[in-house]
Amino acid sequence: MNIPSAPRRPLTVLLAAPRGSCAGVERAIAIVEEALRRYGPPVYVRHEIVHNRYVVDRLKRQGAVFVDELDAVPDGRPVVFSAHGVAETVRQEAGRRRLPVVDATCPLVAKVHRAVDRHVRAGRPVVLIGHDGHAEVVGTLGQAPPGAVHLVESPADVDRLTLPADRTIAYATQTTLAVEETAAVVTRLQQRFPLLTGPARDDICYATSNRQAAVKAIAPRVDLLLVVGAPNSSNSNRLVEVARTTGAGDARLIERAHDLPWDRLETIASLGLTAGASAPELLVQEVLDALRLRFTLDVRTVRLAEETQSFRLPRFPPLFAAPDQAAE
Ligand code: 2E4
Ligand code: SF4
């Protein structure tokens, strides 16, 4: 006997666009894949290439070995620097050991590094707006000698700076910050340091600001907004915060479909969905497929911008024999 199944409840999904992988992430992943093809495994990667467990695990299965520091890289093996960039000391250490380096630092992070370096060489104190301890911030601070760059996160931090008000002070920012919050910090810097110099507005990249703009458009129209992304992903966490402050009833970060908050989903009529810059589209589709098992979805894409940015791959250096091998 055929028992008719209960009709699935309708659920409207507003799908943010742009969402997910940006040009810097696609380039970084392609660099590890190309390094594996050219050099063969193992290819060492300093830090998670991007902050996404699915991406890291897939590359591990292909032969990438993720390490925290260069001392875990054997002499002579290639090492990839992650998309978040590295401090100068790391680059120098790799040079001293003559490790073949492939640099997957996002070109938009590298641009901030060059600006900081320019200011420091010109003798200007630099204020960096960013989150203490984050890999990108560690790398950007590390473009200058200790003490030359002052890290702030909030207007209150700006008030605590002891730099002279009558000098030219430069500033730079992490690329993945919340746009409005950062503007408030820059405004306070301008008030305290009238000769402030730096980017036109901030160093927040096109991908970060486009993903936030799409969330802002969707947030007031949904009961719950889900961001596919990792707990250690700065840009993904900012999307959750932006959703909360711009009117979403609730906003949460999920890594994959298995994190879907089913009890909460039973209580809502409209869901917003987006993904951080390090989350592949496949994970968004996995979430939608899981939702379709329980709901009749009405998926509407809300597009705020078209993205055409792409970055070329860097140079891949030749492999040299390790010093002890060369002596044999
Ligand atoms: C480099 C710079 O910085 P965040 O934690 O957002 O990094 P994630 O790996 O999540 O995203 C890619 C990325 C890499 C963003 N900016
Ligand atoms: Fe580069 Fe922006 Fe992507 Fe970061 S989020 S990797 S800065 S494009």
Q: Tell me the pLDDT tens digit for each residue of 170-228.
A: 999 999 999 999 999 999 999 999 999 999 999 999 999 999 999 999 999 999 999 99
Would you say how long the chain is, in residues?
Answer: 328
| Ligand 1 pocket member 84 (CB < 6 A) | yes
Q: What is the mean pLDDT of residues 246-272?
A: 97
DSSP 100-120: -EEE---HHHHHHHHHHHHHH
Q: What is the mean pLDDT of residues 5-16?
A: 91
CB 217 within 8 A of CB 239: no
Topology given in CATH for the domain delimited by 108-192: Cobalt-precorrin-4 Transmethylase; domain 1 (3.40.1010)
Task: Please give the Cα distance from 190 to 227 (Å, whole number).
Answer: 33
Rama region for 63: left / alpha / beta (φ>0; ψ in -120 to 50; rest): left
Could you tell me the residue ranges of all domains in the chain? 9-21+206-303, 23-106, 108-192
pLDDT of residue 261: 98
Q: Which residues are designated catalytic?
A: 136
Strand-pairing partners, residue 185, are none
Measured in whole angstroms, how far is the alpha carbon of residue 150 from the centre of its chain? 22
Strands 64-67 and 149-152 come out as unpaired
Q: How far is the CA of 235 from the centre of ligand 1 (A)?
A: 6
Cis omega before residue 42 (within 30°)?
yes
* Closest ligand 2 atom to 208 CA: 5
What percent of the chain clears pLDDT 70, i.e. is strictly above it? 96
Verdict on whether the full-model pTM lies above 0.85: yes
Task: Please give the Cα distance from 295 to 28 (Å, whole number).
Answer: 36
Measured in whole angstroms, how far is the alpha carbon of residue 28 from the centre of its chain? 11
* Closest ligand 2 atom to 107 CA: 1
pLDDT of residue 7: 79
| Ligand 2 pocket member 208 (CB < 6 A) | yes
Task: Please give the Cα distance from 7 to 254 (Å, whole number).
Answer: 27
| Ligand 1 pocket member 143 (CB < 6 A) | no
* Residue type (1 letter), 302: V
Q: How far is the CA of 231 from the centre of ligand 1 (A)?
A: 12
Q: Does 108-192 match 23-106 at the fold level?
A: no
CA proximity to 53, closest of 278, 290, 252: 278
Instruction: Inform me whether the pLDDT recorded for 250 exceeds 80.
Output: yes
| Ligand 1 pocket member 83 (CB < 6 A) | yes
Architecture (CATH level 2) of domain 9-21+206-303? 3-Layer(aba) Sandwich (3.40)
CB 45 within 8 A of CB 68: no
Instruction: Inform me whether the pLDDT recorded for 324 exceeds 90.
Output: no
**H-type alpha helices, the chain:** 23-39, 53-62, 88-96, 107-121, 135-141, 155-160, 179-192, 206-218, 234-245, 262-265, 281-292, 323-327
CB 54 within 8 A of CB 9: no
Mutate to test the pocket of ligand 1, among 53, 106, 136, 182 (most ligand atoms within 8 A of CB): 136
pLDDT of residue 225: 98
CB 203 within 8 A of CB 179: no
Q: How far is the CA of 106 from the centre of ligand 1 (A)?
A: 9
**H-type alpha helices, 63-106:** 88-96
Residues whose CB is less than 8 angstroms from the CB of residue 137 and which lie 6 or more positions away in sequence, other chains included: 128, 130, 131, 151, 174
CB 49 within 8 A of CB 29: yes
Topology given in CATH for the domain delimited by 23-106: Rossmann fold (3.40.50)
Q: How far is the CA of 96 from the centre of ligand 2 (A)?
A: 29
214-to-20, 32, 211, 295, 306 alpha-carbon distances in Å: 12, 30, 5, 24, 11
